[in-house]
Amino acid sequence: MIQATAVPGEVLAAELGALVRDWGLREVRPRVRQLEEQGDFPRELYAQMGEMGLFGCVFPERLGGNGAGFRALAKVAENLAWVYPPLSAPMNLQAATVPLTIANWGGPELVERYVPGLVTAELLGCNAMTEPDGGSDFLGAMRTRAVRDGDDYVINGAKMWITNANVADVAVVYAKTDPAAGHKGVTAFLVETSTPGFQTTRVPCRVLGKLMPTNSVTLTDVRVPASHVLGAEGQGFAVAMNAMDYGRLSVAARSVGLAQACLDAALEYADQRVAFGQKIGEFQMVKKQLADMTVEVAAARALVDAAAAGYDSGTVATRESSIAKYYAGEVCNRAAQACAEIFGGAAFSDELPVSIYLNYAKLWQTGEGSANIQAVLIADDALGWKDMDRHRTPLPVMV
C-alpha cells in the first residue's frame, strides 16, 4: 500500500493515477470482453483495488487508509474510469459516499467495525437513497418509513437504482421517521444486508454491461439497532447532503476519466482510419472535434482538482464539487458523442468500448444530482438566492 508520509499530495496523486493505469492496462482491459460475457460481479478486482490502497485515500492508517487526500481520491477515480467505466463505481461506494458517511456520522463502534472493511473491500457497501417514485426528489417523494420499537427501529419501504446492493454487505438507508416533518423527518441508518427482510432484485440494464449491477431493494420489517442511526433522528437530510458532496466529487472525476478515454480512443482512430485517401484526422471537422475535446477535458480536470484541493484544505467544497460535477458531466457527454461520430458505424461494435462510453456518460450526467438540478443550484447560488454552502458540515478530524 502506498503511504503518504514523505510525498507531496499532488505527486502522490499522480503516482496513484499511474499505478491505476498500469494495473488497468495489465489486468483489466485485456479481460473486459471475457468479464462482460461471464457477467459475474468482479469481486476479485475489487479485492485487488482494496489491496492497492485505492479506496483509502482520505482515511488514516488506523482505519485501513493511506491519508493521501481528496486530490488522490479524484485522480484514482479518474483513472479507474479511464480503464473501464463500470470499475470506477467503488470510488463512491468503497472510498467516499458510504465509508465517509459512516466516518462522519456514525458512532465510534460503527466506524471501527465497518470503515476498515469497506476501505479494503473486505466488505462491500451500497447507498440506498433513491426510491421508485423519487429520483431528484428523493426526500419529498420518500415513502420508506422507520418506526422506533424499543432499542430498535423497524424499516419498511423500497429503494430503486441501488448500485451493488445485490453484493453489498452493508447499506446506508434513508427513511422517514417523522413523515409530517418534511426533510427534517428523514433519518439515515446503517443496515447489514443480511438482516431479515432486506431483499434485492437485479434490474437488467443491458446498455451498461454487467459489471456494475443496479438493483431494486425491498425492506420488509427490517429491524435495525438504534445504535445504527447515522447522526441523530431527523438529521438524515444533512447526512444525505454531506454524502452527495463527496459523491459529486467522485462522479466528476470519473467523468473526466471517461472523457479522456473517449479522447484517447478518438485520437488513435483518427490517426489510423483512412477515408477518401487520407487519414480522417486530416479533415477539419474532425480536427475541430479533437481540439474541443482536448481543451474541455483539461478544463474539467482543473475544476475537479480545485474542488478536491478544497476538501484537502479541510472544507467540504459543496459549491466547487457541484460546479465540477455539472461541467465534467457536460464535457463527458460531448466527448462521448464526438468519439462516436469519429468512429462512425464502428462505434456500435462489441469489439470496441465506444457504446459503453456513450451510455456511462449519460448515466453520470444524471447520478449524484442530474445536470438540470445542478444547473438550477448553480444559477440560484450565482443570483444570490440560495447559498449552495448553506448545508455545509465540517470534516471530521480523522480525514
> Known catalytic residues?
368
Q: Which among 105, 2, 98 has a CA at the least distance from the CA of 49?
A: 2
Instruction: Let me know how many helices (H) and strands (E) the chain has, helices first.
Output: 12, 10
DSSP sequence for 94-133: TTTHHHHHHHHHS-HHHHHHHHHHHHHTSS-EEEE---TT
Backbone angles phi, psi at 393, to 5 degrees: -125, 145
Tally Cβ neighbours within 10 Å of residue 391: 15
Q: List the grid coordinates of 255.
A: 467523468
Q: List the grid coordinates of 398.
A: 480523522
- Please answer whether residues 72 and 9 qualify as being in contact, where contact means their C-beta atoms are separated by less than 8 angstroms: yes
Q: Report the alpha-carbon distance of residue 384 to residue 243 in Å, rounded.
A: 24
C-alpha distances (whole Å) from 225 to each of 36, 150, 169, 178 are: 39, 9, 16, 18
As a whole number of Å, the CA-based R_g of the chain is 21
**To which residue does cell 474539467 refer?**
300
Which residues on neighbouring strands pair with residue 146, listed in sequence order? 155
Q: CA torsion sign, 319 to 325 to 328 to 331?
A: negative
DSSP sequence for 239-303: HHHHHHHHHHHHHHHHHHHHHHHHHHHHHHHHTT-EETTEEGGGSHHHHHHHHHHHHHHHHHHHH
